[in-house]
């Protein structure tokens, strides 16, 4: 993890560059997978399970018996933790519900807006080196609250052909019963085109490796929406002398252990702060079971010492981190937080670890990465809905509004648009 001292702004993009994603090379691998799933359906999914997961899958759907058995394999302590997280996530996402909007913009002209659930959604849950049962909560809960009629969950099986028990338990807990043993780009392809077992969906959610990400981006070209473009996980920690170095180091490593292409950034107010944190990183990384992954991620990572708060905040907004942790003096928190305009989710204070948002505080952990926090939001209740607008105009309303429409249409040289109003106004004159 290299250290930069007050780098000039023109160097920020280069010095803080995220690991390169070779999209074209990945697409060359993914496209044939998608084509096979489109043509062969379940047969292709089973072939790919044998090829990539090294398992012979007979039944792609998880059975009720498998789900019941999984419950017995999940420790009571973990069950209670999942239930607590579920409650907090439900509270926060339920509070995001908004009433339908209805108003008169002028006499006789009523405009409305209503949230309508996306009917069919697909949830992709990684199950490889880290089975992300927490993502089942983060995606399944808002899907349920939004009122999505059909929810399908795809996750890769292990070498015995089973889905991780915690994933099955969590899915069952929130009422998801269509759970498919399929992972990778082939899962995304199945949810895009549909197979005998997997229904085609309207929108696909969930994190995944570079192949899953490429498949999701290709799905968009076929008319399927996705939650957001995705890249490797990342965190930026802004720390002054009030930050506790061991806390900061633990947060940096919690993201570094995600994968070798993850990136962590430390923005420190002094070299002394940076050195203390880096010392802790070196100590803590050796204690991790995933230390080799974390160490490789640290090779992509940077500690930056900035001379003042203004420059530090400017750099943070330029980088647009997925996760931003602010560990500064309490009296400075409000000012710093108020000036952040580009971040997926913000964690404030020494006692707010990023892992709280990953699991159980209530906010969603499906967030924009790779700088997309400049123009994308994280997953929320709104992600599972569409906003439909309505308008109703009375005879009085068209008389009030009609002349405005006629003038505008005439000046845009759209004669039929004007006529649609003129004919109505003439009708009212003739029948008054």
Point out the annotated binding site for substrate. Answer: 233, 255, 258, 323, 358, 412, 417
The answer to whether residue 54 is catalytic is no
Active-site option among 322, 354, 365, 410: 322
The answer to whether residue 323 is catalytic is yes
Per-residue 3-state assignment (H helix, E strand, C coil) for the chain: CEEEECCCHHHHHHHCCCCCCCHHHHHHHHHHHHHHHHHHCHHHHHHHHHHHCCCCCCCCECCHHHHHHHHHHCCHHHHHHHHHHHHHHHHHHHCCCCCCEEEEEECCEEEEEEEEECCEEEEECCCCCCCCHHHHHHHHHHHHHHCCCEEEEEECCCCCCCCCHHHHHHHHHCCCCEEEECCHHHHHHHHHHCCCCCCCCCEEECCCCHHHHHHHHHHHCCCCEECCCCCCCEEEEEECCCCCHHHHHHHHHHHHCCCCCCEEEEEECCHHHHHHHHHHHHHHHCCCCCHHHHHHHHHCCEEEECCCHHHHHHHHHHHCCCEEEEECCHHHHHHHHHCCCCCCEEEECCCCCHHHHHHCCCCCCCCCCCCHHHCCCCCCHHHHEEEEEEEEECHHHHHHHHHHHHHHHHHCCCHHHHHHHHHHHHHHHHCC
Annotated binding site: 124, 186, 209, 233, 255, 258, 323, 358, 412, 417
Active-site option among 323, 335, 410, 430: 323
Annotated binding site for Zn(2+): 255, 258, 358, 417
Annotated binding site for NAD(+): 124, 186, 209
Q: Catalytic positions, please?
A: 322-323
């Amino acid at each position: 993890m290299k250290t930069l001292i007050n780098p000039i702004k023109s160097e920020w993009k280069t010095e803080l560059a995220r690991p390169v994603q070779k999209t074209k090379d990945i697409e060359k691998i993914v496209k044939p997978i998608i084509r096979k799933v489109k043509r062969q359906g379940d047969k292709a999914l089973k072939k790919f399970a044998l090829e990539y997961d090294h398992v012979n899958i007979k039944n792609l759907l998880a059975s009720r018996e498998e789900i019941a058995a999984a419950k017995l394999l999940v420790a009571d302590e973990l069950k209670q933790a999942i239930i607590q997280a579920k409650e907090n996530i439900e509270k926060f996402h339920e509070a995001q519900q908004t009433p339908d909007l209805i108003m008169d913009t002028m006499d006789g002209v009523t405009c409305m807006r209503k949230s309508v659930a996306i009917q069919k959604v697909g949830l992709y849950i990684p199950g490889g080196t880290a089975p992300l049962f927490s993502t089942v909560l983060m995606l399944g809960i808002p899907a349920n609250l939004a009122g999505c009629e059909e929810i399908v969950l795809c996750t890769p099986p292990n070498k015995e052909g089973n889905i991780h028990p915690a994933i099955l338990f969590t899915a069952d807990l929130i009422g998801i019963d269509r759970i498919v043993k399929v992972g990778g780009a082939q899962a995304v392809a199945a949810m895009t085109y549909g197979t005998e077992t997997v229904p085609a969906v309207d929108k696909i959610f969930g994190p995944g490796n570079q192949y899953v990400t490429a498949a999701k981006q290709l799905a968009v070209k076929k008319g399927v929406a996705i939650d957001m473009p995705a890249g490797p996980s990342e965190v930026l920690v802004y720390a002054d002398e009030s930050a506790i170095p061991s806390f900061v180091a633990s947060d940096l490593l919690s993201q570094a252990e995600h994968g070798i292409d993850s990136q962590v950034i430390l923005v420190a107010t002094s070299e002394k702060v940076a050195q203390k944190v880096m010392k802790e990183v070196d100590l803590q990384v050796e204690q991790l079971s995933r230390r080799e992954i974390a160490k490789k991620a640290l090779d992509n990572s940077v500690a930056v010492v900035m001379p003042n708060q203004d420059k530090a905040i400017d750099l943070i907004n330029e980088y647009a981190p997925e996760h931003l942790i602010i560990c500064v003096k309490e009296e400075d928190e409000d000012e710093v937080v108020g000036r952040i305009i580009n971040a997926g989710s913000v964690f404030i204070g020494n006692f707010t670890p990023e892992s709280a948002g990953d699991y159980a505080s209530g906010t969603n952990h499906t967030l924009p990465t790779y700088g997309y926090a400049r123009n994308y939001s994280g997953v929320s209740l709104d992600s599972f809905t569409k906003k439909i607008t309505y308008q109703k105009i009375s005879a009085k309303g068209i008389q009030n509004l009609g002349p405005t429409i006629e003038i505008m249409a005439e000046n845009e040289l759209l004669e039929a648009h004007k006529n649609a109003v003129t004919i109505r106004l003439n009708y009212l004159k003739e029948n008054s």
